[in-house]
Copies of this chain bind each other. A is one copy, B any other.
């Protein structure tokens, strides 16, 4: 039916979430018309839904268009996983930052990508990642660190799709070596000129729940000097999370 560029959301909930996600993806701001086009929802419906969301301050209208509102910020700040990780990771990150001075990240797996949950600014400019942004799992150190310890065939499969068989083979080899070293390296694969070094954070039953990484300029940061520091931090975080149970 309909023009249907994509799966058009039918249920009210799907529509609302589609609108929210589209607003998020539109860095900066969107208009009603753009939202209607992007989501495939009729303009009048978008107008009504967005109006309601603005009234509840889940969205806000600025001169430049519609943006995420304060209520969503409030909700996001209470999200369970990021909070638990923050509490446990703060002292670990402080120590790691003292030792390195570089850009730090703690990220969790989200679909076939990694979602940065905490981010500490180092000297890198522009900042390659902030809390709340996604980075690809295949190329980043964060992603490789987690994937190397993942048993879930579904996730691995979905990440592999899109790689031709030769790249896939070298990638699987890389994961094996990451598994033995407990450290993954991203040599300018994701951001030009940026090296990343990451190590996985495991739950008590050895399921990877997150990864912690250091990133710096390729010209001036030695990944092999960073490796033990990052591994130590990840182990410390793993340990603190295990205790945190409460």
Contact = CB atoms under 8 A, between A and B. Distances in A.
Interface of A: 11-14, 16-17, 20-21, 24, 29, 49, 52-53, 56-58, 60, 62, 67-82, 108, 110, 115, 117, 130-134
Given A70-B110, A70-B115, A81-B60, A13 B53 contact: yes
A69 B77 contact: no
A132 to B, nearest CB: 2
A130 B74 CA distance: 11
Number of copies of this kind of chain in the complex: 2
Contacts of A11: 52
A227 to B, nearest CB: 28
Nearest to A62: B80
Nearest to A74: B132
A56 B20 CA distance: 12
A183 B160 CA distance: 58
A6 B60 CA distance: 27
B68 A75 contact: yes
A75 B17 CA distance: 10
Contact of A76 (B12, B52, B73, B108): B73
A52 B16 CA distance: 12
A184 B134 CA distance: 40
A81 B71 CA distance: 11
Contact of A115 (B20, B24, B74): B74
B80 A79 contact: no
Contacts of A13: 12, 16, 49, 52-53, 56
B76 A72 contact: yes
13 contacts: A13-B56, A17-B56, A17-B71, A24-B74, A29-B80, A67-B79, A69-B81, A72-B75, A73-B76, A73-B132, A76-B76, A76-B77, A76-B132
A164 B239 CA distance: 53
